[in-house]
Amino acid sequence: MQDTLAKVTQGAFKLALQILGQTADAQDVLQDSVSIAIVHKSAPKSSSVDFKPWFYRVVRNKSIDKLREQKRHQSDEFDDHVDHELDSKLALDPEQAAETTQLNLKIKAALAVLPQQQRELVLLKDYHQMSYLEIAEVLDIPKGTVMSGLHRARLALKTLLTETVGD
């Protein structure tokens, strides 16, 4: 049971990392979210299948709160915030660089340019392997909009990737 729990929390940590781009921030979010899981009486048992989407949702919301907080602090650099985001997404960790293939870099760079929700849709489906129902729960959107949003996100990603392949 501890193993599956660790799997969920590691996955959730990566989601926070994907949204925030910084290991330290993602760790803060994960700790906050665990303490919410402890305090909240409505939290599903950590051994149940409902725990994963519930916990991902908490982590996702906490990450976005943190992101907004950070954006507010650096609003004077607003103009180049896309480049900024891209940089922080690419420079995740120095030790990671060795394991980073070129395709990996390209995908991450393209993902970083996508609008927030499109990026989340693609990552929740293709990286975290969640079902449409679970994704709807994490993002708090109707299940019927997951497929169309995801498709639009993938087409945008495809355009970005075929553009960068050219050079």
Partner 1 sequence: MKNTSLCEHIGEQISGFLDGELSQQESQRVSVHLSQCESCSQTYEQLKQIQGAVSQAYYPNMEQQKMNAVLQDLTSKRMFDFAWFAIVSGVLISVVFGVYHFWLDSSIPLYSKVVMSLIWGGGIGLFLTVLRQRLIISKTDKYNKVDL
If binding is defined by CB under 8 A, does position 112 make contact with partner 1? no
Nearest to 109 by CA among 21, 23, 27: 21
If binding is defined by CB under 8 A, does position 122 make contact with partner 1? yes
With a CB cutoff of 8 Å and minimum separation 6, the contacts of 24 are: none
If binding is defined by CB under 8 A, does position 123 make contact with partner 1? yes
30-59 mask for partner 1 (x: CB under 8 A)?
Answer: xxx-xxxxxx------x-------------
Let me know: does 51 contact 8? Beta carbons within 8 Å.
yes
Let me know: does 50 contact 121? Beta carbons within 8 Å.
no
Whichever of 104 and 116 has its CB closer to partner 1, that residue is: 104
Whole-number Å distance between alpha carbons of 98 and 77: 31
Nearest to 11 by CA among 48, 58, 45, 43: 58
Q: From the CB of 32, what's the least distance to partner 1, in Å? A: 6
Please identify which residue in 64, 107, 109, 141 interacts with partner 1, judged by CB under 8 A.
107
Residue 91: CB atoms within 10 A of its CB come to: 12
**Contacting residues toward partner 1, per CB under 8 A:** 2, 5-6, 9-10, 13-14, 17-18, 23, 26-28, 30-32, 34-39, 46, 92-93, 95-96, 99-101, 103-104, 107-108, 111, 122-123, 125-127, 129, 131-132, 147-148, 150-152, 154-155, 157-158, 161-162
